[in-house]
Chain A
Amino acid sequence: MMEAKFIPGDKVPAWLAELAKERRTAVPRREGGAVVFRPFDPDQPVPLGRQATTPPKGSVFPQCEPLMVFRYEKDPASPDTSQVRVKETIDETPRLVVGGRPCDARGFATFDRVYDAEDVKDLNYLARREHTAFITMACPRPSSTCFCHWVGSGPADTECSDVLMTPVEGGYVLEPVTETGGELLQSSLLEDAGKRLDEAHAVHKRAAEGLGEAPDLSETPGKLLELFDDMGFWEEVSAKCISCGACTYLCPTCYCFNITDEACGAEGARLRTWDNCMSYQFTMEASGHNPRPTKAHRLKNRVGHKFSYYPTIHGGAIACCGCGRCIKHCPVSVDIREIVLKATAAESAEQE
């Protein structure tokens, strides 16, 4: 049985330094007004007290990564012709992400259902996923933009985490979730949690109560489909959207990508980069036809994907972790919660 531990706040940097020797470790760092995930640096403070501006999605799903590399090689026997050699680029570097929130870690569950499906295995993703551990910070106080409880999660959710870290008086309680998590808690800097574990669970309880009641979204997938052809509805809810795509780039569950080639001389790489379904070009076809020509069509697909199509395919699981970044950082205050509630209520009103 793996036991919970306690680390005094002032010993956290030393513990992280130990962990960073074994694994490539990403931690929150203040940059300008933002908190972003960066490689651990013993000379930099690690702000653990607030949700990072960006999720640690890139640790497992980098913004840009090679899916393979290729090289044209001249045939010595026939110098006019060249052969192409292709090589996989699977990255199995052991990694650790410290200080993400339960919503951030749980975002990978959304990825896993698609990237680790029965019929398709995304080997580049799976190698990173398998070799990345998460020490996740439970949320002591929900923000006004948080809605993790709407999508089946909560401020102390342990899904996809290896260790759950909870702030208590004087330091943090560390609860191992997986075997890997237990291995991460072997340091002599750690003490037994003792009664502090109860204190941590009280923090979890208070945070969950602070979120309030969650709406019933069980009918939402069908209702979004019923509204599919009601472009008046979608034009209204997307009226202020500027198609900037910030929501997609900041989302721990958005997994769409593009594939492009880059070459220099005889060598090159096929790259996977994050893509953005709010962009006009995303579905633009070679013929010039675009099935999602307006921002209303595109926002409809984004909301539909997260709250209707994905749950329909994946046994009810919603492709949103409720982190609220798309709401907090939207430059024009589009709120996906409002759209989902409005769609759900619009149908109810019609039925009455």
Chain B
Amino acid sequence: MQPLNPYLPDVATITEIIDETPAIKTFRVVLGEKRMKEFSFKPGQVGQLSVFGTGESTFVINSPPSRMDYLQFSVMRAGEVTSKLHSMSPGDQIGVRAPLGNWFPYEDLKGKNIVFVGGGIGMAPLRTLLLYMLDNRGDYGDISLLYGARTPQDMAFQYELPDWLGRDDLKTQLTVDVESEGWEHSVGLIPNVLLEMEPSPENTVAVTCGPPIMIKFTIQALHKLGFQDNQIITTLEKRMKCGVGICGRCNIGTKYVCKDGPVFTYEELKQLPNEL
């Protein structure tokens, strides 16, 4: 078989753009008909999105593999590529190199209780796994979600929150950092709310993603609740270019976040050199 060119993107068409927050837009894209049919990925894998003429950036595929009508990426405006993406419209074409990297161990998690802890745009990778688990609900135990943002306006996926809050098979807790008019849910930092929720570590795995400072204190809270290092899973962010472990900027010692990650257990992270 002719080996694939790892740098050659698929040309994809934007079918829908959802304004999530003032800084985040979600893009739904489809690949060519044949490629879309053969495309497969696992929850947690990432892709390089490119605007031809501007460049590439890495984002998680945040639609679940159990829903393959489109691939979804949520993009926070932060630099050149993301600004250009934010200026695009449905019908425009972009490049997609995916799937890249490893994935959440969704097979190993079967039969376990799951606690999702997401902060801000860190909810995007968790959403993939959450939706996948909800689509395969019988395979998993109790599932709970703690999702926090600075303000209600900074909360992405708001159109899905009523469904998540209303489900019997999902325990959802939302929180914002400060009191806000009309906000009926928790107020407080994620680690504090997590301690109040007091999830049992018994046969449970916590999956967390968010800003580094949030992850740090969330892990401390999980430890207080009795979670062991191998019961905590997170995803890492790094500046990535090639996406296939060659170009050399996302390594932490011998591991390349683009290829060996972005998903790591806290136990694995502790074995890596301290270079986050």
A257 touches B247 (CB 8 A): yes
A341 at interface, CB cutoff 8 A: no
> Which residues from B are CB-within-8-Å of A81?
91
> Which residues from A are CB-within-8-Å of B7?
67-68, 122, 124, 259, 270, 272
A304 at interface, CB cutoff 8 A: yes
Q: A70-B52, A228-B274 are in contact. Are A256 and B238 (CB under 8 A)?
A: no
A261 touches B52 (CB 8 A): yes
B8 touches A88 (CB 8 A): yes
Q: A115-B246, A120-B6, A291-B276 are in contact. Are A72 and B238 (CB under 8 A)?
A: no
Contact flags B225-250 to A (C-beta < 8 A → 1, else 0) = 00000000000011101101111111
Q: How far is the CA of A229 from the CA of B273 in the complex (A)?
A: 8
In this complex, what residue of B is CB-closest to A70?
A: B52
B253 at interface, CB cutoff 8 A: yes
Q: Closest CB-CB distance, A85 to chain B, in whole Å?
A: 8
B246 touches A255 (CB 8 A): yes
> Which residues from B are CB-within-8-Å of A256?
247-249
Q: How far is the CA of A287 from the CA of B78 in the complex (A)?
A: 7
> Which residues from B are CB-within-8-Å of A268?
52-53
Q: How far is the CA of A93 from the CA of B9 in the complex (A)?
A: 24
A312 touches B254 (CB 8 A): yes
A282 touches B253 (CB 8 A): no
Q: How far is the CA of A257 from the CA of B249 in the complex (A)?
A: 9
A68 touches B247 (CB 8 A): no
A335 at interface, CB cutoff 8 A: no
Q: A123-B3, A277-B248, A289-B212 are in contact. Are A257 and B53 (CB under 8 A)?
A: no
A305 at interface, CB cutoff 8 A: yes
Residue among B5, B238, B254 making CB contact with A313, cutoff 8 Å: B254
Instruction: Count chain B residues whose beta carbon lies closer than 8 angstroms to a beta carbon of A.
Output: 43
Q: Closest CB-CB distance, B237 to chain A, in whole Å?
A: 7
Contact flags A59-92 to B (C-beta < 8 A → 1, else 0) = 0000000011010100000000111111010000
Of the listed stretches B54-62, B169-177, B182-190, B195-203, chain A binds B54-62
> Which residues from B are CB-within-8-Å of A291?
238, 252, 275-276
A333 at interface, CB cutoff 8 A: no
Q: A123-B5, A286-B82 are in contact. Are A259 and B241 (CB under 8 A)?
A: yes
Q: How far is the CA of A282 from the CA of B247 in the complex (A)?
A: 10
B93 at interface, CB cutoff 8 A: yes
B95 at interface, CB cutoff 8 A: yes
Contact flags B74-107 to A (C-beta < 8 A → 1, else 0) = 0000110010000000010101000000000000
Seen from chain A, the residues whose Cβ lies within 8 Å of a Cβ on chain B are 67-68, 70, 72, 81-86, 88, 114-115, 120-124, 225, 228-229, 255-263, 268, 270, 272, 275, 277, 282-287, 289, 291-292, 297, 301, 304-305, 308-309, 312-313
24 contacts between A and B (CB under 8 A): A83-B93, A84-B52, A84-B93, A86-B11, A88-B8, A121-B4, A123-B5, A229-B274, A257-B246, A259-B7, A259-B247, A263-B53, A270-B7, A270-B50, A270-B52, A275-B247, A275-B249, A277-B248, A285-B239, A287-B237, A292-B275, A304-B253, A304-B273, A305-B251
Given contacts A257-B241, A277-B249, 19 further A-B contacts (CB under 8 A): A84-B95, A86-B8, A86-B52, A88-B5, A121-B6, A228-B273, A229-B274, A259-B55, A261-B52, A261-B56, A262-B53, A263-B53, A270-B7, A275-B249, A286-B57, A287-B78, A301-B251, A304-B253, A312-B254
